[in-house]
Amino acid sequence: MALSLREKLKTAGAVQKKPSAPVSDGQCLIRTEERPAGEMGLPPVVSGQVLRLLQGQEYTDIRREDLLFLDTETTGLSGGAGTVAFLVGVGYFEGDKYRLEQFLMRDYNEEASVIARTAERMRDHPILCTFNGVTFDLPLLRSRAVMQRTRLPAEKGHIDLLHISRRVWRMRLKKCNLKNIEEQILGLTREDDLPGAMVPETYFRFLRTRDMSLLEGILEHNAQDIGSLPVLLDLLMKIHSDPLSLESSEDLYSMGRVHERRGMNEEARKCYRAAGQKGLAFLSRVRMAEIARREGKYTESAELYESALRKRQSAEIHIALSKIYEHRLRDLPMALEHASRAMMLTPPSDRAAEDALMKRMRRLRGKMDRTNGET
């Protein structure tokens, strides 16, 4: 049976009766660092309009001092009962400085101190910026705060850069963890970085040996994360402010999808046209056809779908055209033609799709027969 953290701590103390580190008085270890604010890129006032595009939520313009960049290192990567955030790193702006602080739990009785200092920083800087913090870091910290008979203050906003980054770069990068984004997008390479998967194991080695040198790699790993977050936020805001400056067709297409989801159809079209000119003509024309269809511009939608088919044949697009011609443009022969083409492109193994198309074609032929009979 797996040992709990408390049991591991007891075991660690039993193995080494004379630890090299002093017995904790309940106050966590605090490590601080200052960097020039100019290295982080963010302007003194962060645009609420751009944040609304990033997040899909209402924001007004905010001071960068209101932002708290936060990242945790934990005793387990999957969360769950018994997982503890033994290190909380935060970063925030103070005038022309970017201040980085790390709160380290060297013993179980220091967790309350870590939580209290984190809560203090959240009160001072009420808008969080994390990388997967919505799903992982913040729920874990809140649950641990409850275990310590306290609560973290409610944030006024939470900008999770993981989800924003995926929307922009997943099509091109496939893998959107922070390290890959640093290397492929920010041009940053970590030297001798401790892999995240090794962090829990290394921390438990520290608990057994009390060798403080084991924590240096963890602290450096966490500090690099906190240093990258404002740089990444700044870049994402610039991309959302001026998506047409992007060079990659995949990124342009992805930004078209972002604008489309936000209901900004004209901005989406601009991105799709640019992506199409750089090689993604098929996908871009399909998206523009979908926008036109939703706007009730059925002739334009049909023309865009037809132009997409000249790039690549697709059963799904033929079906979409069949529906438009039948229900919107009242052209039954064209609706039947596209249904027939969809049937030819449907693999025989997809019986459900074949049955649906057969039913559609029978209905269309029946409609045509009745129309011809009336005339």
Q: Which of 7-16, 26-35, 199-208 has the lowest mean pLDDT?
A: 7-16
Reply yes or no on whether the pLDDT at 74 is more than 60.
yes
State if pTM tops 0.75: yes
Averaged pLDDT for residues 165-181: 97
* The pLDDT of residue 10: 43
In this prediction, residue 374 has a pLDDT band, given cuts at 50, 70 and 90, of confident
Mean pLDDT of 23-28: 77
Q: Report the pLDDT value the prediction gives residue 2, as an integer from 0 to 100.
A: 46
What distance in Å separates the CA atoms of residue 234 and residue 229, rounded to the nearest whole number?
Answer: 9
Lowest-pLDDT range, 8-22, 77-91, 161-175, 289-303?
8-22
Name the token pair of 329.
Answer: 């443009």
Q: What confidence score (pLDDT) does residue 80 get?
A: 67
Give the model's pLDDT for residue 97: 97
3-class secondary-structure state, position 357: helix
pLDDT, tens digit (0-9, with 9 covering 90-100), for 248-281:
999 999 999 999 999 999 999 999 999 999 999 9
pLDDT above 60: residue 289: yes
Which pLDDT value is given to residue 59? 92
Please give the average per-residue pLDDT across 285-303, as a whole number.
98
Whether the pLDDT of residue 23 is over 90: the answer is: no
pLDDT for the residue numbered 372:
86
> What's the pLDDT band for 342 if we cut at 50, 70, 90?
very high
Taking only the tens place, the pLDDT of each residue in 196-217 is: 889 999 999 999 999 999 999 9
What Rg do the C-alpha atoms of the chain give, in angstroms?
28
- Report the pLDDT value the prediction gives residue 19, as an integer from 0 to 100: 36
C-alpha pair distances (Å), 135 with each of 77, 130, 142, 145, 296: 12, 10, 12, 16, 38
What was the pLDDT predicted at 252? 98
> Which pLDDT belongs to residue 18?
36
Query: Helices 161-173 and 214-241: crossing angle, nearest 10°?
Result: 80
Nearest to 102 by CA among 220, 241, 264: 220
Query: Which regions of the chain carry the CATH code 3.30.420.10?
Result: 5-241
CA–CA–CA angle 53, 59, 61 (5° rounding): 105
Task: Name the CATH code of domain 244-374 (choices 1.10.10.10, 1.25.40.10, 3.40.50.720, 3.30.390.50).
Answer: 1.25.40.10
Q: Which of 75, 344, 367 is nearest to 199 (CA)?
A: 75
Number of helices and strands in the chain (H, E): 15, 8
Please report the pLDDT score of residue 375 as a whole number: 61
Average pLDDT, the chain: 92
pLDDT for position 232: 98
Percentage of the chain beyond pLDDT 70 is: 92
Angle of helix 332-345 versus helix 315-323 axis, rounded to 10: 160
Mean pLDDT of 66-70: 98
pLDDT at site 4: 47
Q: What is the pLDDT of residue 191?
A: 83
Domain with CATH 1.25.40.10 in the chain: 244-374
Q: CATH says 5-241 is which class?
A: alpha beta
Name the pLDDT band for 325 (thresholds 50, 70, 90): very high
Band of the pLDDT at 79, cuts 50, 70, 90?
low
pLDDT in tens, 241-252: 999 999 999 999
